[in-house]
Amino acid sequence: MVIMRIIWFASQIAFFGLIASRMVAVEDYFRYYVGGLSVMTLYSAAVFIGFDIYEEAEHGVFEYLLSLPVTRRQLVLGRSIGGGLRAFIYVGPLICISLYVIGIVNPLNFLLALFSLFLFAFGVSGMSITLAVVIKSSDRFDILMGVLDALIVRLSTAMYPLSFVKEANPIYGWIANFNPVTYAAELFRWGAGVESILSFENPLLPLLGIVLFFGFFMFVGIVLYDKSIEGGGWR
């Protein structure tokens, strides 16, 4: 636990130390930033469902949920989608504001982007649920979410273009390249028409990334939810 905290702390400092020094003005950065911020906030809100899992464990609600006449697949899917939708409701106003700031260029692109944001939110909720049931300790979960926040939110293109991240450190660049937050941020900006600094030539690439992310955590979530909750050992 202490180690995880240190890693988190170190990664934040290292990253910001490197990146901040390169924070030169980018053309259109404000619009870029607003788009990224929306996706980051969406991520944070969708992660929240994981904390609900601990509350459920504490209240013994798991036993109830597990006894219901539904399959585990329906249960995990329902929870993930519920968590994702809730995140959308929280972040909705922010998305609207950022759209106002950015202005939509192509409505069709935007619909596709919105769809991908939905998938992204469900995927993040699924991930959060999966990790929560594996970790089984709200303290450790709290810290891990901090580490993940550092790794996948900061090391994405949400705040800085890919070229910046790569320049800072090739490993950071690599992480940012295979990162659902990157994909979501890129798609959102693409959909809203912030074309000037897109990292991906083809929007289908990040879309595919998000679909895979969503699918992976649904699948793993279903298997692990079942296994680790039935095993007990919640404290």
Q: Name the CA dihedral angle for 120, 126, 132, 134, rounded to a multiple of 10 degrees.
A: -120
Return the CA Rg of the chain: 18
Of 66-74, 99-107, 128-136, 181-189, the window that binds another protein (rule: CB under 8 A) is 66-74
- HSE-CB for 106 with a 13 A CA cutoff: 12
Task: Determine which residue in the list 6, 23, 61, 208 makes contact with another protein, applying CB under 8 A.
Answer: 61
Q: Which of 2, 3, 24, 60 binds another protein (CB under 8 A)?
A: 60
Kindly state the smallest distance separating residue 174's Cβ from another protein, in Å. Answer: 40
Distance of CA 164 to the CA centre of its chain: 21
φ, ψ of residue 191 in degrees (nearest 5): -65, -40
Query: Contact, 47 vs 145, CB < 8 A?
Result: yes
Q: Is 231 a residue that touches another protein (CB under 8 A)?
A: yes
Phi-psi region of 68 (alpha: psi -120 to 50; beta: other; left: phi over 0): beta
Distances (CA, A) of 227 to 48, 133, 192, 231: 22, 9, 41, 6
Least Å from the CB of residue 54 to another protein: 12
| 191: nearest Cα among 85, 92, 88, 116 | 116
Residue with smaller CB distance to another protein, 61 or 205: 61
Q: Does 63 participate in binding another protein (rule CB under 8 A)? A: yes
Interaction of residue 89 with another protein, rule CB under 8 A: no
Say whether residue 166 binds another protein (CB under 8 A).
no
- The 209-228 site mask, x for binding another protein (CB under 8 A), equals --------------------
Q: How far is the CB of 232 from another protein (least distance, A)?
A: 6
Pick from 12, 72, 115, 173: which binds another protein (CB under 8 A)? 72
Q: Min. distance of Cβ 86 from another protein in angstroms?
A: 12
Total residues interacting with another protein, rule: CB under 8 A? 17
Residue with tokens 């329902």: 78
Cβ proximity to another protein, 36 vs 221, nearer residue: 221
